[in-house]
Copies of this chain bind each other. A is one copy, B any other.
Amino acid sequence: MSISQVHTALERLSNLLRVEARMQGSVEGLLPVQLEVLHYLYQCNRYSDTVQGVSEYLGQTKGTVSQTLKVLDSRGLLRKQPDTKDRRLVHLRITAKGEKLLVNVVPARFLVEALDSKPARETERLAEDLKDLLRAAQAARRMKTFGACKTCRFNESSQSGFRCGLTGESLTIPDIERICREHQYPLASEG
Protein backbone atom coordinates (compact mmCIF):
# COMPACT_ATOMS: atom_id res chain seq x y z
CA MET A 1 0.00 0.00 0.00
CA SER A 2 1.74 3.15 -1.16
CA ILE A 3 -0.11 5.43 1.24
CA SER A 4 1.78 3.76 4.05
CA GLN A 5 4.98 4.35 2.15
CA VAL A 6 4.14 8.02 1.84
CA HIS A 7 3.47 8.12 5.56
CA THR A 8 6.76 6.43 6.40
CA ALA A 9 8.77 8.67 4.12
CA LEU A 10 7.10 11.80 5.47
CA GLU A 11 7.73 10.67 9.02
CA ARG A 12 11.40 10.15 8.28
CA LEU A 13 11.75 13.46 6.45
CA SER A 14 10.02 15.10 9.35
CA ASN A 15 12.68 13.67 11.66
CA LEU A 16 15.45 14.95 9.44
CA LEU A 17 13.91 18.42 9.43
CA ARG A 18 13.78 18.29 13.20
CA VAL A 19 17.34 17.07 13.63
CA GLU A 20 18.57 19.71 11.21
CA ALA A 21 16.58 22.42 12.96
CA ARG A 22 17.96 21.32 16.30
CA MET A 23 21.50 21.56 14.99
CA GLN A 24 21.04 24.91 13.30
CA GLY A 25 19.07 26.29 16.20
CA SER A 26 21.57 25.25 18.82
CA VAL A 27 24.04 27.73 17.37
CA GLU A 28 21.70 30.54 18.30
CA GLY A 29 20.29 28.80 21.33
CA LEU A 30 16.93 28.30 19.65
CA LEU A 31 14.68 25.27 19.59
CA PRO A 32 13.01 23.71 16.55
CA VAL A 33 9.59 25.06 17.49
CA GLN A 34 10.95 28.55 17.81
CA LEU A 35 12.47 28.40 14.35
CA GLU A 36 9.20 27.17 12.96
CA VAL A 37 7.35 30.10 14.46
CA LEU A 38 9.83 32.50 12.88
CA HIS A 39 9.45 30.76 9.54
CA TYR A 40 5.69 31.02 9.79
CA LEU A 41 5.75 34.70 10.71
CA TYR A 42 8.10 35.38 7.85
CA GLN A 43 5.32 34.32 5.48
CA CYS A 44 2.41 36.05 7.20
CA ASN A 45 0.33 39.08 6.43
CA ARG A 46 -1.70 41.04 8.96
CA TYR A 47 -4.52 38.50 9.05
CA SER A 48 -2.34 35.69 10.27
CA ASP A 49 0.51 37.18 12.30
CA THR A 50 -1.22 36.78 15.66
CA VAL A 51 -0.91 34.40 18.59
CA GLN A 52 -4.11 32.72 17.51
CA GLY A 53 -2.75 32.34 13.97
CA VAL A 54 0.43 30.68 15.14
CA SER A 55 -1.59 28.49 17.48
CA GLU A 56 -3.84 27.20 14.70
CA TYR A 57 -0.94 26.69 12.36
CA LEU A 58 1.16 24.67 14.76
CA GLY A 59 -1.75 22.89 16.38
CA GLN A 60 -0.66 24.00 19.83
CA THR A 61 -2.66 25.81 22.47
CA LYS A 62 -2.46 29.56 22.77
CA GLY A 63 -0.81 29.22 26.15
CA THR A 64 2.04 27.20 24.74
CA VAL A 65 2.50 29.56 21.83
CA SER A 66 2.43 32.56 24.12
CA GLN A 67 5.40 31.19 26.01
CA THR A 68 7.37 30.49 22.86
CA LEU A 69 6.73 34.01 21.65
CA LYS A 70 7.94 35.50 24.91
CA VAL A 71 11.34 33.94 24.29
CA LEU A 72 11.55 35.11 20.69
CA ASP A 73 10.49 38.60 21.74
CA SER A 74 13.08 38.79 24.50
CA ARG A 75 15.79 37.90 21.99
CA GLY A 76 14.74 40.62 19.60
CA LEU A 77 13.74 38.19 16.85
CA LEU A 78 10.20 39.49 16.66
CA ARG A 79 8.28 42.57 17.69
CA LYS A 80 4.84 42.66 19.27
CA GLN A 81 2.68 45.38 17.84
CA PRO A 82 -0.83 45.96 19.19
CA ASP A 83 -3.52 46.41 16.58
CA THR A 84 -4.71 50.00 16.33
CA LYS A 85 -8.36 49.10 15.73
CA ASP A 86 -8.94 45.87 17.64
CA ARG A 87 -7.09 46.25 20.88
CA ARG A 88 -7.30 42.58 21.71
CA LEU A 89 -4.99 41.79 18.81
CA VAL A 90 -1.23 41.76 18.83
CA HIS A 91 0.61 41.56 15.54
CA LEU A 92 3.82 39.61 15.53
CA ARG A 93 6.40 41.03 13.18
CA ILE A 94 9.67 39.31 12.51
CA THR A 95 12.62 41.67 12.91
CA ALA A 96 15.60 42.11 10.59
CA LYS A 97 17.63 40.08 13.06
CA GLY A 98 15.03 37.33 12.87
CA GLU A 99 15.01 37.29 9.09
CA LYS A 100 18.78 37.17 8.97
CA LEU A 101 18.72 34.14 11.21
CA LEU A 102 16.13 32.39 9.06
CA VAL A 103 18.23 32.60 5.93
CA ASN A 104 20.61 30.04 7.42
CA VAL A 105 17.81 27.69 8.32
CA VAL A 106 15.40 27.67 5.36
CA PRO A 107 15.62 25.73 3.20
CA ALA A 108 17.28 23.04 5.28
CA ARG A 109 20.74 22.16 4.06
CA PHE A 110 19.93 18.51 3.45
CA LEU A 111 17.14 19.50 1.09
CA VAL A 112 19.44 21.76 -0.88
CA GLU A 113 22.05 19.03 -1.09
CA ALA A 114 19.46 16.49 -2.17
CA LEU A 115 17.65 18.63 -4.72
CA ASP A 116 20.21 21.06 -6.07
CA SER A 117 21.74 18.59 -8.49
CA LYS A 118 18.40 17.54 -9.91
CA PRO A 119 16.68 19.20 -12.86
CA ALA A 120 14.70 22.23 -11.67
CA ARG A 121 11.62 20.79 -13.32
CA GLU A 122 11.62 17.73 -11.07
CA THR A 123 11.93 19.81 -7.93
CA GLU A 124 9.11 22.04 -9.07
CA ARG A 125 6.94 19.01 -9.69
CA LEU A 126 7.73 17.66 -6.23
CA ALA A 127 6.84 21.02 -4.70
CA GLU A 128 3.55 21.05 -6.58
CA ASP A 129 2.75 17.48 -5.56
CA LEU A 130 3.41 18.23 -1.92
CA LYS A 131 1.30 21.38 -2.03
CA ASP A 132 -1.48 19.38 -3.66
CA LEU A 133 -1.26 16.80 -0.93
CA LEU A 134 -1.46 19.49 1.72
CA ARG A 135 -4.40 21.11 0.06
CA ALA A 136 -6.28 17.83 -0.17
CA ALA A 137 -5.48 16.93 3.42
CA GLN A 138 -6.60 20.27 4.77
CA ALA A 139 -9.76 20.24 2.69
CA ALA A 140 -10.65 16.75 3.89
CA ARG A 141 -10.25 17.67 7.52
CA ARG A 142 -11.84 21.10 7.10
CA MET A 143 -8.73 22.64 8.51
CA LYS A 144 -7.55 26.15 7.87
CA THR A 145 -5.57 26.18 4.67
CA PHE A 146 -3.00 28.87 5.45
CA GLY A 147 -2.68 29.88 1.82
CA ALA A 148 -1.68 33.20 0.30
CA CYS A 149 -4.33 35.75 -0.62
CA LYS A 150 -3.58 35.43 -4.31
CA THR A 151 -5.06 31.91 -4.34
CA CYS A 152 -8.03 32.81 -2.14
CA ARG A 153 -11.62 32.86 -3.26
CA PHE A 154 -12.21 36.09 -1.33
CA ASN A 155 -9.49 37.98 -3.13
CA GLU A 156 -10.82 40.50 -5.65
CA SER A 157 -8.77 42.54 -8.04
CA SER A 158 -9.86 46.09 -8.76
CA GLN A 159 -8.32 48.82 -10.92
CA SER A 160 -6.55 50.21 -7.86
CA GLY A 161 -5.08 46.87 -6.84
CA PHE A 162 -6.49 44.02 -4.73
CA ARG A 163 -9.15 43.79 -2.10
CA CYS A 164 -10.25 41.15 0.40
CA GLY A 165 -13.93 40.40 -0.15
CA LEU A 166 -14.25 39.17 3.41
CA THR A 167 -12.91 42.15 5.31
CA GLY A 168 -13.29 44.76 2.57
CA GLU A 169 -9.75 45.92 3.13
CA SER A 170 -7.49 46.69 0.20
CA LEU A 171 -4.38 44.57 -0.19
CA THR A 172 -0.92 45.49 -1.37
CA ILE A 173 1.15 43.40 -3.74
CA PRO A 174 3.27 42.01 -0.86
CA ASP A 175 0.06 41.24 1.02
CA ILE A 176 -1.36 38.91 -1.56
CA GLU A 177 1.82 36.86 -1.64
CA ARG A 178 1.49 36.07 2.04
CA ILE A 179 -0.34 33.64 4.26
CA CYS A 180 -3.81 34.58 5.44
CA ARG A 181 -5.67 32.91 8.27
CA GLU A 182 -9.04 33.24 6.54
CA HIS A 183 -7.72 31.75 3.33
CA GLN A 184 -10.05 29.51 1.35
CA TYR A 185 -9.43 27.96 -2.03
CA PRO A 186 -12.02 28.64 -4.74
CA LEU A 187 -15.04 26.35 -4.62
CA ALA A 188 -14.92 23.42 -7.01
CA SER A 189 -18.01 24.72 -8.77
CA GLU A 190 -16.27 28.02 -9.53
CA GLY A 191 -13.78 26.19 -11.71
Instruction: State the A residues within 8 Å of B (CB).
Output: 1-19, 22, 36, 39, 43, 57-59, 106-108, 110-116, 118, 120, 123-127, 129-131, 133-134, 136-141, 143, 146
Contacts and interface: CB of A to CB of B under 8 A. Distances in A.
Contact of A127 (B6, B14, B39, B110): B6
13 contacts: A2-B126, A3-B123, A6-B115, A6-B130, A8-B39, A9-B127, A11-B17, A15-B59, A16-B134, A16-B143, A22-B59, A113-B137, A114-B137
Nearest to A19: B59
A30 B127 CA distance: 32
Nearest to A16: B137
B136 A43 contact: no
Contacts of A58: 15
Given A17-B10, A17-B11, A129-B126, A3 B111 contact: yes
A111 B137 contact: yes
A120 B143 CA distance: 25
Contacts of A114: 133, 136-137, 139-140
